[in-house]
Amino acid sequence: MTTASTVSPWDDAIFWEGVDGGRLLLARCARCSRIQHPPSPMCPSCGSVSWDVQESSGKGRLHSWIVSHHPSRPDAEPRVVVLVDLDDGVRFVSNLHNVQLDEIQVDMPVEVTFQLVGDTVLPLFTRPGGGT
């Protein structure tokens, strides 16, 4: 899905506004249509500085993952940090949600889910249909 608005290339506010509304919005070059995530000032393919917004389906496949034991708080649970190949053609770093360690497989299908973490909504990934 495409929206008509144009984003400032170095402004990630549109991304976070999308997340707050339960949408994964990506920057798409207005000249060559390359999807760029994270946003950058200039398109690495054609040099354009004009960007449009594309809504991602949020679907993709697990490229790689690790269990992070580096605690952000003394009682924090380890997190599964994932690298997802989105169907849109970009990689996305996030955490896996609601998936047991023995269920994780490289290339497994995943989809975005928007979860409140502390006081911030974050785009996390889970199995299709597992975003409760």
Give contact residues for Zn ion (rule: CB under 5 A): 29, 31-32, 34, 43, 45-46, 48
34 versus 63: smaller Cβ distance to Zn ion: 34
Q: Using an 8 Å Cβ cutoff, are 83 and 65 in contact?
A: yes
32 versus 106: smaller Cβ distance to Zn ion: 32
- Burial label for 74, CB within 10 Å (0-12, 13-18, 19+), is exposed
- Shortest distance in whole angstroms from residue 90 CB to Zn ion: 13
Chain centroid to CA 1: 16
- Shortest distance in whole angstroms from residue 65 CB to Zn ion: 30
- Shortest distance in whole angstroms from residue 24 CB to Zn ion: 20
Token pair recorded at residue 10: 């170095």
45 versus 64: smaller Cβ distance to Zn ion: 45
59 DSSP β-pair partners: 111
Q: Using an 8 Å Cβ cutoff, are 74 and 81 in contact?
A: no
31 versus 63: smaller Cβ distance to Zn ion: 31
- Shortest distance in whole angstroms from residue 23 CB to Zn ion: 23
d(CA 48, CA 93): 25
